[in-house]
Structure 1
């Protein structure tokens, strides 16, 4: 009986680990986060943002290239004060997504 309980516990741990690994990023393969397409005009706000973002150097969810015009591909962001497509708040803890600024090849990891 004890071996059976240990075996069940080990299987549950492996299942939880694999589910965590599969849900490692909140961004889907098409570049959407909760229905927000991660390209376009972005406004930085202090509170009540659509997305909380942490800037990292390794293991980002999204590679971001800052552009001055035509932010029409996933990962291309144009920072604006008005007329935004979505808002972001930069945080150090509990981000929704993690980004890395790049000069080329923006998009989903």
Structure 2
């Protein structure tokens, strides 16, 4: 019985059934998680939960040059991606930081 459980867990991890993981290349569902972001209440690209510990991505809010992983510049038009802040069932979790943004 334990053998089948181990096989199932290996298959689940290898096929990506475990959601919420940001790739080591700083992407989620093929989109780079750096750039200009618009916060919306509906029709987001990603649903994000703000946490204090165990984030999937560390985010630094910047006012210019949001080209590195985890650097987000808030805009009201022409975003690279749209984010909705939620308290449950997020696509991934973020923690706001002042330094060292990116994948933990």
**TM-score range relative to shorter protein:** 0.7 to 0.9
Tell me whether 1:14 sits opposite 2:19 in the alignment: no
Unpaired segments ≥5 residues, structure 2: none
Which runs of structure 2 are paired with 1:32-51 in the superposition (5 Å)? 32-51=27-46
What is the number of equivalent residue pairs in this alignment? 101
In structure 1, runs of 5+ residues without a counterpart are 1-8
TM-score by length of 1: 0.84
Structure of higher CA gyration radius: 1
1:16-51 Cα offsets, whole Å, 9 max, x none, are 445566746431110011111000000000011000
- Report the TM-score, using the length of structure 2 for normalisation: 0.87
Q: Deviations over 1:50-88 (max 9, x none)?
A: 000000111110000000110010100001101110000
Check if 1:74 corresponds to 2:69: yes
Whether the 8 Å CA contact 2:19–2:91 is kept in 1: the answer is no
Larger helix fraction of residues: 1
1:21–1:58 Cα change, 3 Å:
farther
Aligned mates of 1:56, 1:19 — CA distance in 2: 29
2:53 aligned to which of 54, 58, 64 = 58
